[in-house]
Structure 1
Amino acid sequence: MKKIVSITLVILAGLKLCAQNTYVFFGSFNHDKETEGIYVYELDTLKGKLSKITSAKGVLNPSFLTLSPDGKYVFACTESKTKNAGSVSSFEFNPEKKTLTFINSQKTGGENPVYLAAHKNGKWLINGNYTEGSTSVYPISENGLIQPRVQNFHFSEGSVNPDRQDRAHIHSTVFSPDFKYVFLPDLGADKIRTYQFDADKKEPLIEAEKPFIPTSLGSGPRHFTFHPNGKFAYCIEEMGGAVSVYQYNNGKLNPIQRINTHSDQFKDNFESSDVHISPDGRYLYASNRGNENNIAIFSISNDGTLKTVGYQSTKGHHPRTFTIDSSGKFLIVAHPVSGTAVVFRRNAETGLLKKVGREVKLNGVSTVQIRKYEPK
């Protein structure tokens, strides 16, 4: 009898797993509201194949996407790369009906929004505006409606490279693991700015005790991520072609390592872009654009430091962003220049990548997010 029950439970677990749907969300530099700007695909988690299920028009240049904690809403940076403009937009995603429905937009208070992060309580959204070097905070209603911004901080100072760093350029807005702090890598000022975040206040962003940590001059800090254990943080530097490693504790960063993301054959003109860690915390991945078009793979030691494993082609041109699914099984890359999205299967033991399925043609694809939805 016990054996029958056990077999039944295994079968039910398998059926539930099969019933789960994994969806992939892409934004694009569409440059025309009459063309598709956001796409939703379903990922076959056995073969790695992507199948389109829906899309949305009516938005311009959605350069970055993020999802609400419950996966019900998709938030997008819109009107990016549009002179004297910038907005954030909200959409409702219904996995049962496979629909993506526009809700509303709000002005960002800064030009060229490039990054968005949602608070774990689903009530706040914070974005970074690259060109004017600013960040804005928005309340989110229960129905996914973005309310007008309640805070907008502008930064002015630049750094040593007059062509790239004439002024501040906020390139990402990342919550700490406990959501009590926000970190803002500033490519223009060579700083990682820090703010406290009090979700119970009407104006939640408060300057931290230590308002920033400097990075190497001319490094251009871009994207930022935390180790799953919450003890370490990693910043990819676009202009320096490196990842800086930090010990993290209660809003404070302590630098412990800086390691190149590029191989020895590439000596200059770095264009590092994105950084993510596998869910098991064993490997870090960093993308390189420009002449390289690859992902640098690092193993992560117990003390948080990195060791180079190798470099693998992303099979496309200009890997601007990529992401890893929650199971750690797949890594998907968005290439805006070649207009392709490529799926790789991760080897959990070695950290290496293997291309699977066919690449998907998406004109100007700018960003990618993955989310698994449980059946209702």
Structure 2
Amino acid sequence: MFVILASLTLCAQNTYVFFGSFNHDKESEGIYVYQLDPLKGKLSKVTSVKGVLNPSFLTLSHDGNYLFSCTESKTKNAGSVSSFEFNPEKRSLTFINSQKSGGENPVYLAAHQNGKWLVNGNYTEGSTSVYPILENGFIQPYVQNIQFSEGSVNPDRQDRAHIHSTVFSPDFKYLFLPDLGADKIRTYAFGSDKKEPLTETETSFTQATPGSGPRHFTFHPNGKFAYCIEEMGGAVSVYQYENGKLEPIQRINTHSEKFKDDFESSDVHISPDGRYLYASNRGNENNIAIFSIQNDGTLKTVGYQSTKGIHPRVFTIDSTGNFLIVAHPVSGTAVVFKRNAETGLLKKVEKVKLEGVSTVQVRKY
């Protein structure tokens, strides 16, 4: 009886997967919605949206009602952020509005838990913009646009600041901005009740290893540790975290010994149970590095597994921790892996063809 009830409860909720892509043409599909089979990990298409150019990164509002995308463009000031309403009952995704990104090449979005704020990072010239969000999901023009300038030691890649992600602290009181160009993780206090939420903190940044190129950033579920993947250094830096301050405690390679240079490390996520960290490597590797997380927050290498595609730019883990889903823009494939909760290892269960697919989000409704 228990098994039957558990199965019915599992199937009562639907899990949807949202993919964005480099479509390079508003006439072709840019955002796709699929349903994920909670038992087998198979994907079935629900709907898609045209009329949006290069929606390369997506994020969901905390209630799941709205999907936000940033539309990359290498034309100066041509980037934008857009809002869509998702209705799980109608299985529909409807465009609401868009606003200028305040800079070139927006690459990352973060939504505040109160539903009233959206933050984006503009990569090319290195800035971040903050937008008020209305109750109907409408994005208002940005109220802050903070520009950074200084670069770092690599003249080819770090001639100036390059903000690559915008990540809220677990309590949403701080915002962290990994800056690939400056080798810094920038920190701001976030006052959600203020007209201009971002204010400088006493410690305005954490210095990363010179030439490492901080890219994406995540917190441990217990809120005590933070992890930054470094695109150019091919490593994950581990930090102890408290009240907006990061204290470095470890730096560990995301690559095996056979790869010595030209790293293209990309994305980083932790399993919901807090036991394993996953880091994706593009370029010559096209794999995911798997680490077990120790009690003190440090990482221990478990191994490396192929992502079964080319250029694993972004991946995500569903809320149950059962599945890990990878987006490969170069091979144009999305791959679903079944995750072993005990060993942390991955087993491919599904692959779908999606031209230019670059990002993925998943949510249970």
TM-score (norm 1): 0.96
Q: Which residue of 2 aligns with 1:198?
A: 191
Matches within 5 A, 1:49-198: 49-198=42-191
1:270 aligned to which of 260, 263, 266: 263
CA separation in 2, counterparts of 1:190 and 1:80?
Answer: 24
Q: What is the aligned-residue identity percentage?
A: 86
Which position in structure 2 is the counterpart of 1:351? 344
Question: Which residue is equivalent to 2:245?
Answer: 252
Aligned pair count? 365
2:305 aligned partner: 312
CA-CA distance at 1:10 after TM superposition: 6.9
Deviations 1:68-114 (A, max 9, x none): 00000000001434454110000000111110000000001100000
Distance, in Å, in 1 between the alignment partners of 2:72 and 2:217 is 23
Distance 1:147 1:84, change over 3 A: closer
Alpha-carbon distance between aligned partners in 2 of 1:95 and 1:225, rounded to the nearest angstrom: 28
CA positional deviation for 1:19: 1.5
SS of 1:63's equivalent in the other structure is strand
Distance 1:82 1:52 in 2: 32
Equivalent position to 1:333, from 321, 326, 330: 326
Tell me by how many angstroms 1:16 deviates: 2.9
The separation in 2 between residues aligned to 1:295 and 1:80, in whole angstroms, is 28
Taking the aligned partners of 1:135 and 1:106, their CA distance within structure 2 comes to: 14
Give SS of 2:55's match.
coil
Task: Give the letter aligned to residue 363 of structure 2.
Answer: R
CA distance in 2, matches of 1:46, 1:13: 12
Specify the alignment match of 1:368 in structure 2. 360
Go from structure 1 to structure 2 and tell me whether the alpha carbon gap of 1:312 and 1:11 turns closer, same or farther (over 3 Å shift).
closer
Q: What per-residue deviation string (whole Å, max 9, x for no partner) do you get for residues 96-142 of structure 1? A: 11100000000011000000000000100000000010000000000
- SS of corresponding position for 1:17: helix
The alpha carbon displacement at 1:158 in A equals 0.3
Amino acid at match of 2:108: Y
Partner residue of 2:36? 43
**Cα offset, 1:15, TM superposition:** 2.3
CA distance in 2, matches of 1:139, 1:114: 19
Equivalent residue for 2:221? 228
Query: Aligned AA for 1:195?
Result: Y
- Structure 1 residues 79 and 242 mapped into 2: Cα distance closer, same or farther (>3 Å)? closer
**How far apart, CA to CA, are the structure 1 residues paired with 2:265 and 2:139?**
32
Counterpart amino acid of residue 129 in structure 2: S
Alignment of 1:281-296 (within 5 A): 281-296=274-289
Letter in 2 for 1:126: V
- Per the alignment, do residues 336 and 257 of structure 1 end up closer, same or farther by CA in structure 2, a change over 3 Å counting? same
2:287 partner amino acid = N
TM-score by length of 2: 0.98
Q: For 2:160 and 2:7, how far apart are their aligned partners in 1?
A: 54
AA matched with 1:138: Y
Aligned equivalents of 1:251 and 1:84: distance in 2? 31
Which region of structure 1 is more displaced relative to structure 2, 82-91 or 119-128? 82-91
Q: Tell me if structure 2 keeps the 8 A contact 1:62–1:80.
A: no
Task: Kindly report the root-mean-square deviation, in angstroms, between the aligned alpha carbons of the 2 structures.
Answer: 1.0
Q: Does 1:280 align with 2:276?
A: no
* Partner Cα distance (2:321, 2:236) in 1: 21
Q: Which residue of 2 aligns with 1:242?
A: 235
- Given residue 276 of structure 1, which amino acid in structure 2 is its aligned partner? H
Q: Distance in 1 between matches of 2:61 and 2:110?
A: 9
Q: Given residue 353 of structure 1, which amino acid in structure 2 is its aligned partner?
A: L
- Secondary structure at the aligned position of 1:334 is classed as strand
- 1:159–1:71 CA distance, 2 compared to 1 (3 A): same
- 1:261 partnered with 2:259: no
Which runs of 5 or more structure 1 residues have no equivalent in the other structure?
1-6
Name the residue aligned to 1:302.
295
Q: Is the 8 A contact 2:72 2:107 kept in 1?
A: no
Rg (Cα) greater in structure: 1
Please report how far the alpha carbon of residue 45 of structure 1 lies from its aligned counterpart in structure 2 after TM superposition. 1.3
Aligned AA for 1:110? G
Contact 2:11 2:38 in 1 (8 A): no
C-alpha contact (below 8 Å) 2:77/2:101 kept by paired residues: no
Structure 2: segments with no counterpart, 5+ residues: none
